[in-house]
Amino acid sequence: MFAKTLSGLACIFLLTINATGQQLDPDPNRIFVTPLKWEKIRGAPRSEKVRVAEGTLAIFYLEGIYTEISASFIRTGRDQPVSLNLNEGFIVRLGSWSRTDDDQLIRTESREVLRDKLLRMELCNTVGEKQSCEPLPEKLQPGPVSYRTCRLEHPSSIHIAEAIVCTGGLNVFHSQNQIRLSDFPEIVRQLVRGGAKLARRGKD
């Protein structure tokens, strides 16, 4: 009975782990990010060069694994590398991606698998000049599977495309600059290993 409840994602994880030996090293050419609007840290002196931004980073692994993380980003100077900041809360989605018969379309399926407690989604209402916000109820993990069809803008044989525009509102661009991923690649490996173990249990 349990085996019938396994999602296709867990089976994909199992096949991927068997094929890659649990490496899953992200290729910089397959890392995409939403446009980042840099802002000064609240309360910091005017001379402070550190800037922060909120956004989403997506990785399309060669092995067919797809992951995205919504988090904050930090930059210590205009010419310095951008770093993914995992200290202010984050949300991770994990699944798979595949090409279609159309060279300009790809598909992803993913679900929310990890939510850091520091990040709480809020619903805000503005009445007059006053704004009130309330935290949204916590979602159970893992969340429901989401399917997206994505259009490749200026496809590339090296980095998939210059931009990827997906149904549901996710628009990401190939990063021209280095992005330091912090512990995110290891988080993905652990999540994929967990999915593979689930698939193995279902086979037994």
Domain residues for the domain of 135 are 3-203
Q: How confident is the model at residue 137 (pLDDT cuts 50, 70, 90)?
A: low
Helix or strand holding residue 132 (H, E): strand 130-135
Mean pLDDT for the stretch of residues 62-81: 91
| pLDDT top residue among 131 and 115 | 115
Q: Give the end-to-end CA distance of the chain in Å, rounded to a whole number.
A: 11
Residue 115 token pair: 């939510």
Average pLDDT over residues 82-90: 92
Residue 2: the pLDDT is 31
Q: Is the dihedral of CA 31, 34, 38, 39 positive or negative?
A: negative
User: Of 112-121, 137-146, 188-197, which has the strongest mean pLDDT?
Assistant: 188-197
Q: What is the pLDDT of residues 166-200, one digit of tens each?
A: 999 999 999 888 899 999 999 999 888 876 554 44
| pLDDT, tens digit (0-9, with 9 covering 90-100), for 19-31 | 444 578 999 999 9
Domain count, the chain: 1
